[in-house]
Amino acid sequence: MEGRILVEGHARGPALVLEEPLSFWGGLDPATGEIVEANHPQRGSVVTGTILVMPSGRGSSSSATVLAEAIRAGTAPAGIVLGEPDDIIVIGALVAEVLYSVRVPVLLTVPETLATVRDGDEIELT
């Protein structure tokens, strides 16, 4: 997939394509990897091991800690593809790498590329 690497790493997994932005804090349970945001169309989906394809992040500054905690707990996505830059997601992934030596790569792409990805497509980030 074409894009700019925001956080380096290697990941492979099935795409989970979010129909709406997600705030990890208040939106993702790091104990289970489940999307819990009340109004999210994909509430109940589990992000663990997926390549999480997001139009953008939103909401809380705490999303950085929630992502790092999910990475520590082994419930995080294997990689993340963003349609818009999101520093809060990036710093969460960078700190988890510092603390736990686990890399969850983050790729920034354009909405047109995002639109070609279907749920379940096998994606590799290198």
Partner 1 sequence: MAVELEDADRALLDGEHGEAAALAMRLVVKMAGVAQAPRLRDVTQAHIDSCLYHGQAGLDFAERLLAGGATVSVPATLNVSSLDLLHPDLVRLDDDTRDRAKRLMNAYVQMGCRPTWTCAPYQLPDRPGFGEHVAWAESNAIMFANSVLGARTNRYGDFIDICAAITGRVPDSGLHTDDGRRATLLLRLNGIPDALLEHDLMYAVLGYLLGRRAGSDVTAVEGLPSDTSEDRLKAIGAAAASSGAVALFHAIGVTPEASDVGAVLASGPREEEVTLADLRAARDELSRVPHGAEIGAVSVGTPHASETELRRLADLVGADRPRVPFYVNTGRAQLAGVGSVAADLSDAGVTVVTDTCTYITPVMHEIRGPVMTDSGKWAWYAPSNLGFEVALGSLEECVRSAATCRVVRDESVWGS
Which residue type sits at 79? G
CB of 122 to partner 1, least distance (A): 27
CA distance 49 to 96: 16
Stretch binding partner 1 (CB under 8 A), from 17-25, 45-53, 116-124: 17-25
CA of 105: how far to CAs of 30, 39, 44, 48, in Å? 18, 27, 24, 14
Return the SS3 of 16.
Answer: strand
CB of 38 to partner 1, least distance (A): 4
Opening angle at CA 5, ends 78 and 42, nearest 5: 40
| Shorter beta-carbon distance to partner 1: residue 51 or 54 | 54
Q: Which residue in the set 3, 9, 26, 119 belongs to the binding site for partner 1 (CB under 8 A)?
A: 26
Interacting residue ranges for partner 1, rule: CB under 8 A: 6-7, 21, 23, 25-27, 30, 36-39, 55-66, 68-69, 71-73, 84-92, 94-96, 98-99
